[in-house]
Amino acid sequence: MILTVTPNPALDVTYHLGEVVWGGGNRVARVAARAGGKGVNVARVLAALGMPATVLGPLGGRTGDAVREGLAAAGLQDATTHVAGETRRTTTVVDAAGEATAFNEAGPRISAEEWTQVVDAYRELLPGARAVALCGSLPQGLPDDAYTDLVAAARDAGVPVLLDSSGPALRAGLAAGPDIVKPNADELLEATGESDPPRAVASIADRLRAAGGGAVVASLGPRGLLAATGSGWWRARLPYAITGNPTGAGDAGVAALIAGLLGGRPWPDRLAEAVAWSASAVAAPEAGDIDRTTYVTARAHVIVGAVEPPPPPSAPSSSDPNALIGDGRATHRHR
- Domain locations in the chain as residue ranges: 2-9+37-86+112-333
Specify the pTM: 0.90
pLDDT at 311 over 50: yes
**Poorest-pLDDT segment among 58-62, 111-115, 326-330:** 326-330
Q: Give the pLDDT confidence of 219-242 residue by residue, as tens digits.
A: 998 899 999 999 999 999 999 999
Separation of CA 133 from chain center: 9
Q: What is the pLDDT of residue 273?
A: 97
State the chain's mean pLDDT as an integer.
90
Q: What is the pLDDT of residue 312?
A: 67
Fold of 2-9+37-86+112-333: UDP-N-acetylmuramoyl-L-alanine:D-glutamate ligase (3.40.1190)
Q: What is the pLDDT of residue 126?
A: 97
Q: Give the pLDDT confidence of 88-142 residue by residue, as tens digits.
A: 999 989 888 878 888 999 999 999 999 999 999 999 999 999 999 999 999 999 9
Average pLDDT over residues 162-180: 94
Q: Which residues contact 25 (CB under 8 A, 6 or more apart)?
A: none
Exactly one of 164, 179, 251, 289 is catalytic; which is it? 251
Q: What is the pLDDT of residue 10?
A: 96
Q: Which residue has the higher pLDDT, 322 or 293?
A: 293
Q: What is the pLDDT of residue 244?
A: 81
How crowded is residue 276: how many other Cβ atoms within 10 Å of its Cβ?
A: 26
**Poorest-pLDDT segment among 78-82, 200-204, 241-245:** 241-245
Q: What is the pLDDT of residue 327?
A: 44
Average pLDDT over residues 6-16: 94
- Is 196 assigned a catalytic role? no
- In the structure, what pLDDT confidence band is assigned to residue 42 with cuts at 50, 70 and 90? very high
- Three-class DSSP labels, the chain: CEEEECCCCEEEEEEECCCCCCCCCCCCCEEEEEEECHHHHHHHHHHHCCCCEEEECEECHHHHHHHHHHHHHCCCEECCEECCCCCEEEEEEECCCCCEEEEECCCCECCHHHHHHHHHHHHHHHHHCCEEEEECCCCECCCCCHHHHHHHHHHHCCCCEEEECCHHHHHHHHCCCCCEECCEHHHHHHHHCCCCHHHHHHHHHHHHHHCCCCEEEEECHHHCEEEEECCEEEEEECCCCCCCCCCCHHHHHHHHHHHHHHHCCCHHHHHHHHHHHHHHHHCCCCCCCCCHHHHHHHHHHCEEEEECCCCCCCCCCCCCCCCCCCCCEEEEECC
Average pLDDT over residues 159-184: 94
Q: What is the pLDDT of residue 222?
A: 86
Q: Which amino acid is at 286?
A: E
pLDDT at 334 over 90: no
